[in-house]
Amino acid sequence: MPIVVRIDLELARRKMSVGEFADRIGLTPANVAVLKNGRAKAVRFSTLEAMCRVLDCQPGDLLEWVDEVDEPDLAQSSHASHSTDDRSRLDTP
């Protein structure tokens, strides 16, 4: 999946439970689980805004695009995974 959801990470940083988070953003815990597990097909901007307000973060802290080529190695930052070999291959006609 090209979009990686990092809600768990932000919840852990704030020591906030899924139940508390769900209450504060106005969703059910089941719908938060759908978001957390990356099974959501879409996220309303109003929901994203509520999540960012409650977690005091930016949308990019919750969602990250990962190139499908890099997907098996999600532990690396997408910025760190682009080596000079990758760039030179992109520059080649």
- Over the stretch 12-63, which tens digit does the pLDDT of each residue have? 999 999 999 999 999 999 999 999 999 999 999 999 999 999 999 999 999 9
**In CATH, 3-91 is 3.60.15.10:** no
Q: How far apart are CA 62 and CA 41, in angstroms?
A: 15
pLDDT tier for residue 81 given thresholds of 50, 70 and 90: very low
pTM recorded for the entire structure: 0.71
Asked whether 7 and 62 are in contact (CB, 8 A), the reply is yes
Enumerate the H helices of the chain as residue ranges.
7-13, 18-25, 29-36, 45-55, 59-62, 84-91
Give me the amino acid identity at 34. Answer: V
Half-sphere exposure of 76 (CA within 13 A, CB side): 12
